[in-house]
Structure 1
């Protein structure tokens, strides 16, 4: 793997900007269209697994069954689990066992490897796979530990709202980025953006979201939904993933301003 110019991902920034324009901002903010580029045949939302102690073994559907709520494409975890929007303490889950919220901003290593396996089966061989990681993660920067170093400039999205370090590598390095193998074993950040050179799909794990979005062919998206290793539901560009976007499950207390 090597660093890449942020210009490799400018097509993503350009696509998102169309939905972030002032005249469309209120209509589209928080939707799939402001997180992953439009123009794909289909889209899917991959739910990050729920942690119990050190394990990541529960799915959102398990929490929904335990709480009597409904898992659906726009579900928000705080409403699914009947808890406050911001809560750091553990939450009672299935069989009364405490659990922690799903990770925001990253897929766990098992899910990343499983997703990369599905992507590999639907991606033309012998092409570069680009990854981009948000530059705001503490300790993550080119040249630190096993993170590749180089002169490539950052990818800037939404007029500087997000900036990412970009890297050029292989599908195997998407499944397990080289920084997973650093000496301390602490840097397990999954890519916040990833795409192949032919732009046939695009993965996006927004920093503040506890799920990952993927746009691609209808065949690819169906394979992700059907993967036994992943929990995923198909979404549309207009699916609202904001904190108040879940209109199916009853809010817990007054909305947080």
Structure 2
């Protein structure tokens, strides 16, 4: 289900800083009348969305056959050998591998809560023309790229993409366009 549909059902506004709790937590829609049952998955981009994004991004790199992918080894969805390459990140070392952009929808470790497995948390082409980031703690994926590539992603109707700014917060309480009567709770 698209976030825009959830916002419409609750009389909330679609905007770049929207958070699930303030978008779906309306008192105007009873739990029985809600067309959604669960919150979005945190920390993983759905495979169909990953494929749609890869189809767009392929047009904006000279190196679609040589991309890099990284998955946080602490996610519980991957157990690499000790000698496997790591990408050191603050508080989150990642296991990384390379290959064609066609590997972007690779899934790691299916579980009860992630039946399709988890996506890569970072991926970028060898020419560094864009970078996709899905943080393990967020329901949002970010794309850093050129204006032309961003415009293509924003215009694609298969993606639910909104522009973001570098100063946009990603904390649970950063949704500033909450409609009256809507409350977001942490947790």
TM-score interval, normalised by the smaller of the two chains: 0.7 to 0.9
Report the equivalent of 1:157: 89
Could you state the TM-score of these two structures normalised by the residue count of structure 2? Answer: 0.85
- Select 1:171's aligned residue among 84, 90, 101: 101
- Select 1:141's aligned residue among 70, 74, 79: 79
Q: CA deviation at 1:141?
A: 2.1
* Unaligned 5+ runs, structure 1: 1-57, 84-90, 144-149
Q: CA deviation at 1:189?
A: 1.6
Could you state the TM-score of these two structures normalised by the residue count of structure 1? Answer: 0.63
Bigger drift between 93-102 and 217-226 goes to: 93-102
* Unaligned 5+ runs, structure 2: none
- Select 1:132's aligned residue among 70, 80, 86: 70
- Select 1:71's aligned residue among 14, 28, 41: 14
- Select 2:59's aligned residue among 94, 112, 121: 121
Cα 1:226–1:95 change in 2 (3 A) is farther
Bigger drift between 246-255 and 216-225 goes to: 246-255
Cα 1:191–1:125 change in 2 (3 A) is same
Question: What count of residue pairs does the alignment treat as equivalent?
Answer: 182
Q: Which has the higher strand share?
A: 1
C-alpha root-mean-square deviation of aligned residues, in Å?
Answer: 2.9
Distance in 1 between residues matched to 2:109 and 2:55, nearest whole Å: 17
For the 8 Å contact 1:79–1:246, the answer to whether it is kept is yes
Report runs of 4+ in structure 1 exceeding 6 Å deviation: none
Q: CA deviation at 1:255?
A: 5.7
Higher relative contact order (CA 8 A, sep 6+): 1
